């Protein structure tokens, strides 16, 4: 519509410039009036386009944040389960490290604990939505700077810290596995028992307990995720009670 107005008044300007029946001053006033109308129409068109673009961007932000809330809720549930499993890992390693050479164990319990020694679990968050939004250059469309900073802190600060803690734990487990693979030449449970009750076996097992820092970083990620979810619910209260 604005384009039609510009074209219409542009033609009027051309017509007035060639119109001879009016004085120059009269034509200048009319041309000025037409130019004012053209400038107004162009400005209105730009403003409306910008308004439409902003509305579209904020709809994309809303879709992203509501989806992110769903991702974070799943991540929180995963981390809760992981912490419970790591405590089981800790208890299992503590049991194995506490066994003594030369003593007869409960073989059923020992065999189950020895098999469980290989168990592990590493955190892989639902991050593809965030990665896609970031790669598209749309993160800066989030107008709440505090919310944006929380999201960036979660993925660019807290997540790498978890990776570091898990990496340390994984390294210790690999050392234990290497010792087992280099030492054992039999699948006899008694050979397994001799391995875990050897001085080096007991030392490696004792180091396998997940550190306090490990659990702390899981909890920091959970706490930060809950804070982001709270902010999203405040921004979009109509979505607060909905699942997913």
Query: Quick one: tokens of 11?
Result: 């033609």
* 212: Cβ contacts below 8 Å, ≥ 6 apart: none
**Where do the domains of the chain lie?**
2-48, 60-239
Predicted model pTM: 0.79
Interior/surface letters 44-71, b for 16+ CB within 10 angstroms, e for the rest: eeeeeeeeeeeeeeeeebeebbbbbbbb
Residue whose tokens read 């995720």: 225
DSSP 83-122: HHHHHHHHHHHHHHHT--TTSPP-HHHHHHHHHHTT----
Smallest Cα–Cα separation from 147: which of 65, 230, 228? 228
Residue 24 reports pLDDT greater than 60: no
Quick one: pLDDT at residue 2? Answer: 47
* 96: Cβ contacts below 8 Å, ≥ 6 apart: 113, 114, 117, 196, 205
Q: How far apart are CA 212 and CA 203, in angstroms?
A: 19
Residue 29 reports pLDDT greater than 60: yes
SS3 assignment, position 142 = coil
- Lowest mean pLDDT across 54-58, 81-85, 138-142, 175-179: 54-58
Q: How many CB atoms lie within 10 A of CB 92?
A: 19
Top-confidence range, 12-26, 27-41, 178-192: 178-192
Higher pLDDT, 186 or 33: 186
Q: How far apart are CA 138 and CA 156, in angstroms?
A: 17
Q: How far apart are CA 43 and CA 49, in angstroms?
A: 10
Higher pLDDT, 150 or 16: 150
Residue 16 reports pLDDT greater than 50: no
Q: In this predicted model, what pLDDT tens digit does every residue of 76-90 receive, in sequence order? A: 999 999 999 999 999
Q: In this predicted model, what pLDDT tens digit does every residue of 161-216 receive, in sequence order? A: 999 999 999 999 999 999 999 999 889 999 999 999 999 999 999 999 999 999 99
- Mean pLDDT of the chain, nearest integer: 85
């Amino acid at each position: 519509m604005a384009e039609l107005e510009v074209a219409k008044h542009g033609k009027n300007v051309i017509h007035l410039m060639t119109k001879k029946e009016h004085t120059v001053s009269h034509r200048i006033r009319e041309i000025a009036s037409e130019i004012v109308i053209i400038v107004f129409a162009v400005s209105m068109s730009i403003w409306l386009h910008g308004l439409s673009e902003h509305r579209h961007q904020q709809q994309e932000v809303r879709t992203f944040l509501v989806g992110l809330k769903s991702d974070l809720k799943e991540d929180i549930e995963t981390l809760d389960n992981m912490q419970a499993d790591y405590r089981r890992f800790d208890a299992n390693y503590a049991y194995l490290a506490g066994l003594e050479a030369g003593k007869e164990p409960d073989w059923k319990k020992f065999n189950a604990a020895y098999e469980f020694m290989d168990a592990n679990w590493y955190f892989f968050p639902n991050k593809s939505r965030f990665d896609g939004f970031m790669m598209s250059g749309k993160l800066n469309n989030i107008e709440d700077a505090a919310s944006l900073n929380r999201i960036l802190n979660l993925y660019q600060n807290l997540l790498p810290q978890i990776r570091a803690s898990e990496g340390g734990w994984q390294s210790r487990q690999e050392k234990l596995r290497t010792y087992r693979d280099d030492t054992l030449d039999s699948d006899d449970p008694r050979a397994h028992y001799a391995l875990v009750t050897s001085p080096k076996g007991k030392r490696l097992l004792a180091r396998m307990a997940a550190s306090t820092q490990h659990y702390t970083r899981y909890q920091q990620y959970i706490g930060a995720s809950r804070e982001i979810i709270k902010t999203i619910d405040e921004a979009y209260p109509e979505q607060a009670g909905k699942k997913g």
